[in-house]
Amino acid sequence: MEVRDCLISAPGKAILHGEHAVVHGKVALAVSLNLRTYLQLKARSDGKVCINLPNIDTFVCWELSELKQLTSFLREMQRLDAELVKRLREFIGVTNGNLDSSTSAILAFLYIYLSLFGSGLTVSVWSELPTGAGLGSSAAYSVCLAAAFLCATGNIPTPLKEWCQEDLELINSWAFQGEKIIHGNPSGVDNAVGTWGGMLRFLAGKIIPLSRVPLLRILLTNTKVPRSTKVLVARVKDKINKFPSIMIPVLDSVDAISCTCEKVLTEMTCEPITGDHYNILEELIDINQHHLNVIGVGHPSLDTLCQVTAARGLHSKLTGAGGGGCGITLLRPVILSPSVEAGTMKDLRDCGYDCWETSIGGPGVQQHFPSSVKEEIMEVLNRY
């Protein structure tokens, strides 16, 4: 089989509106981040299979002969189940306990590689996304793996511009398998955002990519406060059970915010964008952040984020599970004073936070020529 070298990228994701409400049958809006994960696949003729993940200090090589028995077992099983995951874990020497980022990434790589490939190669991955911050870094990684293996083996074409819908659905289906290896029972939202980009509407298990959305500038802030999604989901559920007549209307309001936001963003693609559009988006951000505090997923670090940006006339909310983690701050398209953005980023970094100026609503998975990728990223990818 002739193997094609390839260079792939996929975006991270943020939740614009609908955190936690989606668990209770409400609408959530997920958007792509213009912070991307890059994967380079290069064929090898020395019988080795290597994975290089410099973000998490991981470099592993196997001989093809080591993988043969595992390949046979996987293809006999023909589906991802607990027994297969157990065999993969045994192969890399992990049998007990929770998996760290490195081990999870290796397991996802092995599963998708063994399912779709069979030749020597080196895969190198570099990400602009922080890991474990609720920004879809594992899904972007899985999307890149799926697209690279499918493309390198000719299962999908090398596109001049974009893959067709059928190709994207195939990429997404394999990426979802990688997410299942890493997370066990994922929603599928993160890998769908990584595949299609733009904005997706998630309701009652159905994921609907929205055909056109405006590109919005944001500040993305990582408070670096660790949180447990499982604990926060349980906290919200407990509040709903305790105060249903109070909490259910709050979730209904969050649902209405998501729907109103979707309507405004759709209008922004069909008519001239005005300050009124941004006024509404900013009000929705403020209202939703108050609701998220009411349902119990706020945190003092997120309150500080909102206060720091409000002092500069900007509007922020948490994104993801809450309880710490990340927040987004909407930036208007015209920079009235560059010092406002620079000053805001300095203020946030002085709080001990990481902060990036980026955008949401950009493209999903893409193939690149090396010349189109930043030099510093290519330098990292070419080290091995």
Q: Which residues are catalytic?
A: 138, 190
Report the alpha-carbon distance of residue 144 to residue 118 in Å, rounded: 18
Q: Determine contact, residues 41/121, Cβ cutoff 8 Å.
A: yes
Instruction: Note every long-range contact of 345-352, with CB atoms under 8 Å and residues 24 or more positions apart, other chains counting.
Output: 345/219, 347/308, 347/311, 347/312, 348/219, 348/221, 348/305, 348/308, 348/309, 351/301, 351/304, 351/305, 351/308, 352/224
Report the alpha-carbon distance of residue 139 to residue 155 in Å, rounded: 21
Taking each helix axis from N to C terminus, what angle separates 189-196 and 137-152, rounded to the nearest 10 degrees? Answer: 50
Nearest to 377 by CA among 98, 148, 54: 54
Report the alpha-carbon distance of residue 355 to residue 225 in Å, rounded: 14
DSSP symbols for 212-247? ----EEEEEEE------HHHHHHHHHHHHHHSHHHH
Q: Which residue has the tokens 């290089």?
A: 52
Report the alpha-carbon distance of residue 126 to residue 116 in Å, rounded: 22
Residues contacting residue 227 through CB under 8 Å, at least 6 positions apart: 299, 321, 322, 323, 324, 325
Residues contacting residue 82 through CB under 8 Å, at least 6 positions apart: none
Report the alpha-carbon distance of residue 135 to residue 35 in Å, rounded: 9
